[in-house]
Amino acid sequence: MPFSYPIQDFDSPFGHFDSELSDSDLRHTAYEILIGACRTSGTRPLTYIPQSDRTISQYKVSAAAAAAPSPPPSLQRSLTSSAASKVKKSLGMRSGSKRRLGGGESVGNQGRATVGELIRVQMRVTEQTDSRTRRAILRIAAGQLGRRVESMVLPLELLQQLKPADFPNQKEYEAWKRRNLKLLEAGLLLHPHLPLNKADAAPQRLHQIIRGALDKPIDSRKNSESMQVLRSAVMSLACRSFDGSVSETCHWADGFPLNLRLYQLLLDACFDVNDESIVIEELDEVLELIKKTWGILGMNQMLHNLCFLWVLFYHYVATGQVEDDLLFAANNLLMEVEKDAKASKDPEYSKILSSTLSSILGWAEKRLLAYHDSFHSDNTESMQSIVSLAVIAAKILEEDISHENRRKRKEVNVAHDRIDTFIRSSLRSAFAQKMEKVKASKQLSSQRKNLPRLSIRNHPILKRWHPLAAGVAVATLHSCYWNELRKFISSISELTPDAIEVLRAADKLEKDIVQIAVEDAVDSDDGGKSIIQEMPPYEAEAVIANLVKSWIKTRADRLSEWVDRNLQQEVWNPRANKEQFAPSAVEVLRSVDETLEAFFLLPIPMHAVLLPDLVTGLDRCLQNYILKAKSGCGTRDTFIPTMPALTRCTTGSKFRVFKEKSQITQRRKCQVGTVNGDSSHGIPQLCVRMNTLQYIRTQLEVLEKRTVIQLRNSNATNANHFADGTGKKFELSRSAFVECIQLLCEATAYKVVFHELSHVLWDGLYVGEVSSSRIEPFLQELEQYLEIISSTVHDRVRTRVITDVMKASFDGFLMVLLAGGPARAFTLQDSEIIEEDFKFLTDMFWSNGDGLPTDLIDKYSTTVKDVLSLFRIDSVSLVEQFRSLSFESHGSSAKSRLPMPPTSGQWNSTEPNTVLRVLCYRSDETAAKFLKKAYNLPKKL
């Protein structure tokens, strides 16, 4: 009966069969070949009474059959199932399976069955056909006594022996004759044993004869002309040999793949006709007879092993993979095929072997590449056989079929590599299925407990071929989960309890699968090092930390952008609030506080570890605020005018001092113009900037204390590190606040003196006659600015900024005296006025004890007083003092020519440039003569 189970479409591994012959045609031909191969002249069959009590009514030979000539003894031999099948035993198959024949009645002890009768039933040949075939074979044997069947072309002989009268009707005879003609065509023209010579006319002639016989009935009498022509054409092709001689053996059924297809149909007789998943108990006797066809079909033991392997495998697949015996047998037979492959050098055999094993391997791999779907606890034995099939087939294909390639190929462990591939592929597939369920339930962490089971399923079977089977599985699982985890992490927009749960589950999963890998690799050569190297740690805590750092960066960037945007619009208005600091200070502190609050609400276990990162980010934002707050305010050097060159004026000069007018005023205006044009940089606004920075600085101390409390409340083990100073605080801001407030104090002071009061200091003080251009106008306006500063600046900054105003005033006073430009010249008598004016200046800052401390005023007035002492010295003494100082600085070279001392700006009574400037501004003859002689300056004032 045909297979009743669904089966995938297997391409025949034996090659494409071009003939129009059906399986039924080929089966009857195979049966005829078997009968012919077993023919003999004996008459008495050997009989055997089975031990079982099954009936054999369907085996009783009809009267017509009994009257027919006796079959060959080998076919007449009675079944000898009393002994277990040696073939089955060698293939590892069970014995004792029940066999049912024909109409379904069991074989009993009331009749006798021969091997031939069994094969007939197995091959689905009717008794009438069997009787007709035997008669024809006996007639052939009688007519050609002593001639071997291998020397005949059986279809040709049968065409001559059987007539229409041997068949029930003409239609059946024509079909039989057509089959034999088609068989001749298949064996001699379509699939010949030897390749046809295109130059030979015999193939074409035979083709025409067969086509003619198919179209018009042929006279099959032995001596008929048409039969003689057919015989001649057939024998000329069938008796060819490789060396060109006439072969004694006729080659008509031994060409590939015709012979293999016929042999496969013979081997199908080894399977119970009613249940083709069961191999019959009489396997040994049946195979013994089938092997008699080798001479006709061109078979040998290697080809038999290969064909029988395919038949066992094909029947296992075709019958629904329910009979593991077939799988075990195929696996054991494949081991024999492996030996054959190593010994064979026949390219035709290698080609068929390669095709057969490729089909088996392809089928096995489809199951093993997803073995989690294919195999479960109830079919692990079949998995072991399928793995073995795949591994051995792969080894033969890669190592044994191509000897040349085998020599060139580097040594590889085929079994190891295949199992490795199966494990990784199946784990990926199983994991993907798990993840589909996860996506539906949105519970990635819930699958954590189930995933390790995937890695250990079936691994004891696979460990036979791969010592680190479980290790490879967990490494693959590790990689798969990491890919999903990475996608999950990339999708996280903010840290949530769900995200933390997933990451912690990942950490637990990793520990579980690493433990499996370690235990699996205990006895391996490298201790599992190679597998462990495949599993870079998930570092879930590091991932959480990175996510928090990303969160921190986002918050810090957002705050930094806010600072940039809002400080561009800030007007620094003293009337913005009663505390006289900028509103933006309140906002930036609120943002910092809210960010710290949000940080401690994050569901993470490492607040203490990551707090420094957050503080650093916020610290940079505050530092950016500080930089923006001081931007455009200028510095001390911005407002100090450039020193003019030292030179005496020419005769007729209005002010009798310098030859070239200084461009100081013009330069000063260029330098300060940029800061003066913006109302947000006025003196009141600068005061507000200082107040703002001082306010934020004070509030940061409060924030730091609150942060320590929050850290301790988070149960952080190292909270005290932040409290005792070993942890990070707002360090950048701390130093930046001090530096920026200092800079703003200086910038404010020097702006007041050199910019806001330049008209009364630089442009007015001591211009022309000293007695008529004294310091009083400067002091009057300076007092107004000091009142603004005192009423605006925070009390903790006020002393500092007023001190800087005092320093700037002192510097301005000295610059007027020593670098005041061509409008100024002093006599020895002017020194008293200058000293008195300086006292007025210092008294303003002392303010009858309400201003700066006396010691502070004395500290910064020391330099001025030291320089003023030079104005009391006569010109002759000044010249000598200058010479002495130059000699000390430049040695003997100063005796011949006094060098021009460089301007350092560090005024001092013992500094040559300071003394020289006093001389340059001295309005008398002695100074003029010295300067003319020493530096070729004009003598006339």
Q: What is the pLDDT of residues 153-197, one digit of tens each?
A: 999 999 999 999 999 999 999 999 999 999 999 999 999 999 998
Which pLDDT score, from 0 to 100, does residue 64 have? 34
Residue 633 DSSP code: S
Q: Mean pLDDT across the stretch 466-489?
A: 86
pLDDT at 320 over 70: yes
Residues 277-281, mean pLDDT to the nearest whole number? 93
CA-wise closest residue to 801 among 757, 753, 762, 763: 753
Among 83-87, 514-518, 562-566, name the most confident range: 562-566
Residues in a beta bridge with 848: none
Residue 471: pLDDT band with limits 50, 70, 90: confident
pLDDT digits (tens, 9 = 90+) for 395-433: 999 887 755 555 555 567 888 899 999 989 988 888 888
- pLDDT beyond 70 at 524: yes
pLDDT of 722 strictly over 90: no
Q: Does position 53 have pLDDT exceeding 70, yes or no?
A: no
- The pLDDT value given to residue 731: 85
Name the pLDDT band for 823 (thresholds 50, 70, 90): confident
CA distance 515 to 474: 9
As a whole number, mean pLDDT of residues 855-867 equals: 95
Residue 237: both structure tokens together:
């092709």
Question: What is the rounded average pLDDT of the residues 766-777?
Answer: 92
Quote the pLDDT of residue 799. Answer: 94
Q: What is the pLDDT of residue 438?
A: 67
DSSP 8-class letter at 97: -
Identify whether 257 is preceded by a cis peptide bond (ω within 30 of 0): yes
Q: Is the pLDDT of residue 521 over 60?
A: yes
317-326, 366-375, 531-540, 735-744: segment of lowest average pLDDT: 531-540
The mean-pLDDT minimum among 65-74, 287-296, 683-692, 819-828 falls in: 65-74
Residue 368 in this model has a pLDDT that exceeds 70 = yes
pLDDT surpassing 80 at residue 99:
no
In this prediction, residue 209 has a pLDDT band, given cuts at 50, 70 and 90, of very high
| C-alpha dist (Å) from residue 901 to 459, 912, 931 | 93, 6, 13
Share of the chain above pLDDT 70, in %: 83
Residue 87 pLDDT: 92
Q: What CA–CA distance (Å, rounded) separates 593 from 589?
A: 6
pLDDT 10s digits, 11-50? 789 888 888 899 999 999 999 999 999 874 333 332 333 3
In this prediction, residue 257 has a pLDDT band, given cuts at 50, 70 and 90, of very high
Are the C-beta atoms of 643 and 617 separated by less than 8 Å? no
Nearest to 256 by CA among 15, 12, 11, 10: 15
Average model confidence (pLDDT) across the chain: 82
Is pLDDT of 795 > 70? yes
Torsion of CA 402, 406, 407, 409, to 10 degrees: 130
Given a cut of 90, whether residue 80 has pLDDT beyond it is no
For residue 727, what pLDDT is reported?
52
Q: Is the pLDDT of residue 664 over 60?
A: no
Query: Which of 368-382, 740-754, 883-897 shows the lowest per-residue confidence on average (mean pLDDT)?
Result: 883-897
User: Strand, helix or coil at 263?
Assistant: helix
pLDDT at residue 325 in the model: 93
Kindly tell me if the per-residue pLDDT of 82 is higher than 80: no
Residue 6 or residue 543, greater confidence: 543
CA dist 570 → 189, 222, 275, 573, 680 (Å): 102, 124, 96, 8, 8
What is the per-residue pLDDT for 938?
64
How large is the average pLDDT for residues 544-564?
88
Write down the pLDDT at residue 245: 79
Residue 68 pLDDT greater than 60, yes or no: no
Q: What angle do CA 629, 673, 638 make, to 5 degrees?
A: 65
At residue 406, the pLDDT reads: 52
pLDDT at 203 over 70: yes
Phi then psi dihedrals of residue 489, to 5 deg: -65, -40
Tokens of residue 716, six digits = 């952080």
- Residue 638 pLDDT greater than 80, yes or no: yes
pLDDT at residue 768, rounded to an integer: 85
**Rounded mean pLDDT, 90-98:** 77
Task: Quote the CA–CA distance of 54 and 729 in Å, as a whole number.
Answer: 99
In this prediction, residue 571 carries a pLDDT of 85
Residue 100 has pLDDT above 50, yes or no: no
In this prediction, residue 806 carries a pLDDT of 96
Percent of the chain with pLDDT over 90: 46
Rounded Cα gap, residues 631 and 570, in angstroms: 12
